[in-house]
Amino acid sequence: KEIKFKERPCHILLQNENGPCPLLAAANVLLLKDSITLPSNCIGAGVITIDELLNVLAEKILTHHIQEVMDLFPTLQFGMDVNPKFTDGPTGVEYTPGLDAFDLLHMEMVHGWLLDPQSPEFCLVEGRTYNQLINAVIEGNDAGSTLEQNPNAPNHEELSTKANEGTIIHHFLESSGHQLTQYGLTVLHEYLKDDQMAVFFRNNHFNSLIKHQGHLYLLITDIGYASVGNIVWEKLDVIDGDTEYVNQEFQAPPPMQHHEVAHTATGEQLIANDLQSQADYQLALQLSQETTSTPPTTTNNSSSQPAAAASPPPLVASPPPA
């Protein structure tokens, strides 16, 4: 999709099927920073495959990291393990190899699933990761079951403590199940500088995040907005999902623009409509792959839609509006 960012025309990538894809969020941050450019054949065809995107990102990395990139990045198309910490700030997560991708691309991943230090359960959550809290809940459930079966167990006090702690932790995880707290939102505002970009993790999904004129915005990458030029960013100012959409100038679009999105069509249907037919889409994808030096992972089959040999459907950069 072609937009303007800081008065500069640029292309962003949209996702034609829902999924976690941290590669998409990272690539869009770099595109907005003008740190990478998409191949002209991909822009002309309106399609970029995972392989082509990997090549673009690999060129961004220093030569001595190339092998690490080629080993790590292909796995990120299927998602990334993220184990957040709730009291260590917006960058607090347990290290996993996938996080090296953001370090190699010189960007941060942040989250807002944070617990207010004034909360009564803070002492139980402090310094612990999501996985550790889940284990505490399981141990608490087991302890509670043991007490129900044997109220006079010799370690009654220890079991009772575990059961109570498990209940408190379970309540915290349930009440913040959307993976963003009001306190976390406040900390994100304080942490990011104006016009700073990062990859934002929430609800097991990755988005491109920017702070602009004191407000936080998420880049909209749903394929349903491919042809909606006046909707580019989503304001991140509440935790309940009651959001506000803005255009490339970070201003509210005309009200009628909110009704232009086709919510019922699938990503593949929207791509096909935008390129006039499935045949045109297949041709565009074929031309895109024939002009790249890397063997594509996407092959044609007897059906009307592309099939991925070793990866999900390709990420999509919609062509500039006519």
Catalytic residues: 21, 205
Backbone angles phi, psi at 217, to 5 degrees: -135, 145
Q: Is 280 helix (H, G, I), strand (E, B) or coil?
A: helix
Please report, as a single letter, which amino acid is at residue 69.
V
**What span, in angstroms and rounded, lies between the C-alpha atoms of 52 and 68?**
17
d(CA 142, CA 157): 14
The alpha carbon of 34 is separated from its chain's Cα centroid by a whole number of angstroms, namely 20
Check if the beta carbon of residue 110 is closer than 8 Å to that of residue 88.
Answer: no
Beta bridge partners of 298: 308
Token output for 207: 């988005």
- Which one-letter amino acid corresponds to residue 3? I
**Distance between alpha carbon 234 and the CA centroid of its chain, in Å?**
14
Crossing angle of the two packed helices 22-32 and 50-60, in degrees rounded to 10: 50
Give the type of residue at 222. D
Q: How far apart are CA 302 and CA 306, in angstroms?
A: 9
**Dihedral sign for Cα atoms in the order 212, 215, 219, 225:** negative
